[in-house]
Amino acid sequence: MKTRTKPVLGVLLALLTAASIAVFTQGDAAPKAKGCYMGRYRGDKVVHTDAEWKKTLSPEAYRILRGHDTEKACTGLYWDNHKEGAYVCAGCGLELFVSKAKFNSGTGWPSFFEPIYPENVATRPDHSFGMDRTEVYCPRCGGHLGHVFQDGPAPTGLRYCINSAAVSFIADKADEKR
Ligand code: FE
């Protein structure tokens, strides 16, 4: 009997280790930006293979940033977020928008009337699904963020319609305590 105890204990230890790793990983489900890049974008690029993106991004962030998908309205983390702070790219950490430019569009997606700096977001025509839209993407890592429409409020008249899963929110110090 004694000779059988050790392998059984070994298997139990392995199972416990695997379980604790699984629990630890699950707690990290919210998209986390890798190394924030605050301020004006200065032109460097973040390049990863598709396999690397798949490994580092959450499944939802990967589906949107790399797969150009769209999350369902009113399901994301930030469409109803009213805290003060900054929204950075969930792929590379580049600062994209600040809460001062966020407004309630009634669409169920985080909406902004302007980016933090004009060069911090890039746009290109998107004719997918038989629609004429303008895609918004991250100029640093190329991640798909959402679309920009011409029906926004003053002062720009623009509506940057952004997927929550494509960004991470960094609360201002004063708002963290609320
Ligand atoms: Fe990015």
Encode the chain (178 residues) as per-residue pLDDT tens digits: 444 545 544 544 444 444 443 333 333 334 445 579 999 999 999 999 999 999 999 999 999 999 999 999 999 999 999 999 999 999 999 999 999 999 999 999 999 999 999 999 999 999 999 999 999 999 999 999 999 999 999 999 999 999 999 999 999 986 665 5
What single DSSP character describes residue 151?
-
CA–CA distances in Å: residue 129 to residues 69, 84, 133, 139, 162:
12, 35, 10, 23, 18
Alpha-carbon gap, residue 32 to 93, rounded angstroms: 8
pLDDT of residue 173: 80
pLDDT of residue 147: 98
* Backbone Cα Rg of the chain: 20
Alpha-carbon gap, residue 169 to 18, rounded angstroms: 30
Nearest in space to 121 (alpha carbons), one of 135, 132, 107, 100 = 135
The residues annotated with a catalytic role in the active site are: 161
Alpha-carbon gap, residue 36 to 124, rounded angstroms: 24
pLDDT of residue 16: 42
pLDDT of residue 34: 57
Phi/psi at 93 (nearest 5 deg)? 90, 0
**Contact between 92 and 46 (Cβ < 8 Å):** yes
How far is the centre of ligand 1, averaged over its atoms, from the C-alpha of 120 (Å)? 9
How far is the centre of ligand 1, averaged over its atoms, from the C-alpha of 103 (Å)? 22
CA–CA distances in Å: residue 173 to residues 32, 93, 99, 169:
18, 18, 13, 12
How far is the centre of ligand 1, averaged over its atoms, from the C-alpha of 173 (Å)? 23
How far is the centre of ligand 1, averaged over its atoms, from the C-alpha of 33 (Å)? 9
